[in-house]
């Protein structure tokens, strides 16, 4: 029997009332939970001992509060609402529109759903399976669909009206789960034949903003009020601290608290007269609210102490050499096919396996196309790094990004490949997946599937498939390396 269990409480769109959070935290404290975390999909996470779990479940069901234990069958709906007003104000997407959409979800989605303002870069666009992005046309949304276990994203042919968004999401989800092939036209026709929706033709792709992560911690003014961002280096928030925060919100009539995809908390609408009370709570619990910006620009997997330790290891290097990372964010992936948000990605992999035992870790370093973390295409920078060499290579990547950005007058630059050493001669022909654009390059092989460097494409087994989206070998396209779109 397991000693501890992970309990997840979804906070739709990352919004929670202080009263609701207070109720959940009081039940958690009665179950001997002393610290909790917020997940990358804006949910509340806690670790509960099995002896206390039954009593906590009983109390949660009385409220009722939806929760899951050691599972994620119903992922949380995430949104960019946490940045509304404090980082930008949408042309038409405001608080009322977010709540209008959320009220339509009278069911628990089985797919990941993202709701995003198209003019912000604080929250991810395409980490969901159904990605709704506000269009320039008021009250209409783009929909980008990414089938489960796939890196392929396609645009829905129509813009969806706000009041139909929840109903369409439910219909598309049912079609995707039923039609495992994920054929775009088949799903579209299936949905359109079942229901009528208010739509407009989608005549263009969404225009993604240049990435710039706002500083999301500490006290900050907006208008006549302030907002407070709370980040914890170990990702753990004391239950007692959060209870004091909830009490102060209720006392000062703050009706909502926002969880961000960066595992932090934002409280909006703090009046000037209440600033001293907020400072008192921070001082009482010894909360530091001015960490370095390059530390805030990291994402790790939920409940990944290993990923967090690696992040802190690299950050110490950044601090020592006063590194500039403006315009970049970083993700650490320690588990295969887990999802993190970042323009620079560190992937851990074992050097060798003995049965189910993985021995000796290496790290591969990737960057996204144009260094935009919303891109679905990752380009290899360095592979097979020992941990001790990883910070230096990230430093090298950051410097090249900054230099090229400066040369192009502030525009995000593509990273051109460095000149290759005279020996060995570079491989000039590679194979690319037509769906997710993953590249098989013989000089790198495919470590995720145990293919060593130097294995030619023709030598791969007949049942080989794309390591990202499982497209069969026969469907991969041969082309010169110089023609790859990076």
Among 113-117, 325-329, 460-464, name the one with the lowest average pLDDT.
460-464
Query: Which two structure tokens, joined as six digits, stand for 480?
Result: 């010169």
Sequence-distant (≥ 6) Cβ neighbours of residue 422 within 8 angstroms: none
User: Residue 194 pLDDT > 90, yes or no?
Assistant: no
Report yes or no on 168 lying in a domain.
yes
Q: Within 13 Å of residue 453, how many CA atoms lie on the same side as its CB?
A: 8
So what's the pLDDT on residue 421?
A: 45
275 pLDDT tier (thresholds 50, 70, 90):
very high
Report yes or no on 229 lying in a domain.
no
Given a contact cutoff of 8 angstroms between Cβ atoms, the answer to whether 116 and 125 are in contact is yes
Report yes or no on 325 lying in a domain.
yes
CATH number at residue 312: 3.30.413
330 with 392, same domain: the answer is yes
309 with 378, same domain: the answer is yes
Sequence-distant (≥ 6) Cβ neighbours of residue 154 within 8 angstroms: 144, 145, 184
What 3-state DSSP class applies to 365?
Answer: strand
Report yes or no on 9 lying in a domain.
no
Sequence-distant (≥ 6) Cβ neighbours of residue 227 within 8 angstroms: 85, 86, 219, 220, 266, 267, 268, 269, 270
For 108, the domain range is 88-201
Report yes or no on 59 lying in a domain.
no
- Per the structure, how many domains does the chain have? 3
Query: Which two structure tokens, joined as six digits, stand for 79?
Result: 């949104």
**Cα–Cα distances in angstroms (integers) from residue 64 to residues 50, 56, 253, in the given order:** 21, 12, 24
Among 101-110, 149-158, 184-193, 473-482, name the one with the lowest average pLDDT.
473-482
399 with 433, same domain: the answer is no
191 with 92, same domain: the answer is yes
393 with 354, same domain: the answer is yes
> pTM value?
0.82
CATH number at residue 455: 2.20.28.10
Alpha-carbon gap, residue 162 to 164, rounded angstroms = 5
306 with 387, same domain: the answer is yes
66 pLDDT tier (thresholds 50, 70, 90):
very high
Q: Which of 186, 201, 216 is the last residue of a domain?
A: 201
Report yes or no on 284 lying in a domain.
no
Cis preceding-peptide flag for 64 (omega within 30 of 0) = yes
- State pLDDT tens for residues 408-417: 654 444 444 5
103 with 162, same domain: the answer is yes
484 pLDDT tier (thresholds 50, 70, 90):
low
Report yes or no on 44 lying in a domain.
no
Report yes or no on 330 lying in a domain.
yes
Q: Which of 201, 225, 254 is the last residue of a domain?
A: 201
């Amino acid at each position: 029997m397991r000693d501890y269990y992970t309990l997840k409480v979804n906070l739709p769109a990352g919004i929670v009332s202080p009263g609701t959070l207070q109720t959940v935290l009081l039940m958690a404290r009665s179950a001997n939970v002393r610290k909790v975390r917020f997940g990358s999909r804006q949910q509340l996470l806690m670790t509960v001992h099995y002896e206390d779990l039954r009593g906590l479940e009983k109390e949660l069901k009385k409220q009722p509060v939806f929760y899951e234990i050691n599972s994620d069958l119903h992922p949380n709906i995430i949104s960019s609402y946490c940045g509304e007003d404090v980082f930008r104000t949408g042309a038409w997407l405001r608080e009322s529109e977010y709540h209008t959409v959320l009220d339509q979800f009278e069911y628990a989605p089985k797919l990941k759903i993202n709701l995003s303002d198209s003019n912000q870069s604080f929250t991810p666009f395409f980490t969901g399976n159904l990605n709704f992005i506000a269009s320039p046309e008021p009250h209409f949304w783009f929909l980008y669909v990414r089938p489960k276990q796939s890196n392929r994203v396609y645009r829905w042919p129509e813009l969806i009206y706000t009041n139909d968004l929840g109903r369409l999401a439910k219909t598309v989800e049912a079609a995707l789960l039923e039609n495992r092939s994920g054929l775009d036209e088949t799903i579209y026709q299936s949905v359109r034949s079942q229901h009528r929706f208010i739509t407009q033709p989608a005549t263009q792709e969404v225009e993604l903003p240049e990435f710039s992560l706002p500083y999301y911690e500490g006290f900050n003014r907006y208008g006549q009020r302030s907002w407070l961002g709370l980040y914890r280096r170990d990702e753990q928030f004391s239950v007692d601290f959060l209870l004091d925060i909830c009490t102060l919100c209720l006392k000062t009539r703050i009706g909502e608290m926002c969880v961000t995809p960066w595992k932090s908390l934002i409280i909006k609408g703090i009046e000037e007269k209440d600033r001293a009370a907020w400072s008192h709570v921070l001082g009482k619990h010894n909360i530091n609210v001015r960490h370095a910006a390059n530390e805030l620009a990291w994402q790790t997997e939920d409940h990944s102490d290993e990923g967090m330790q690696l992040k802190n290891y690299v950050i110490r290097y950044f601090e020592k050499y006063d590194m500039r990372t403006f315009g970049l964010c970083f993700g650490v992936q320690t588990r295969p096919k887990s999802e993190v948000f970042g323009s620079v990605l560190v992937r851990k992999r074992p050097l060798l396996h003995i049965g189910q035992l993985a021995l000796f870790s290496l790290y591969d370093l990737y960057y996204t196309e144009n260094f935009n973390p919303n891109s679905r295409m990752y380009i290899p920078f360095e592979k097979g790094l020992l941990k001790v060499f990883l910070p230096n290579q990230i430093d090298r990547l950051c410097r090249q990004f900054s230099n090229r950005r400066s040369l192009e007058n502030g525009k995000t630059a593509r990273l051109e490949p460095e000149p290759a050493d005279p020996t060995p001669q570079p491989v000039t022909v590679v194979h690319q997946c037509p769906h997710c654009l993953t590249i098989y390059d013989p000089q790198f092989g495919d470590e995720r599937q145990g293919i060593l460097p130097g294995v030619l494409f023709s030598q791969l087994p007949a049942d080989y498939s794309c390591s990202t989206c499982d497209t069969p070998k026969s469907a991969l396209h041969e082309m010169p390396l110089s023609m790859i779109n990076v």
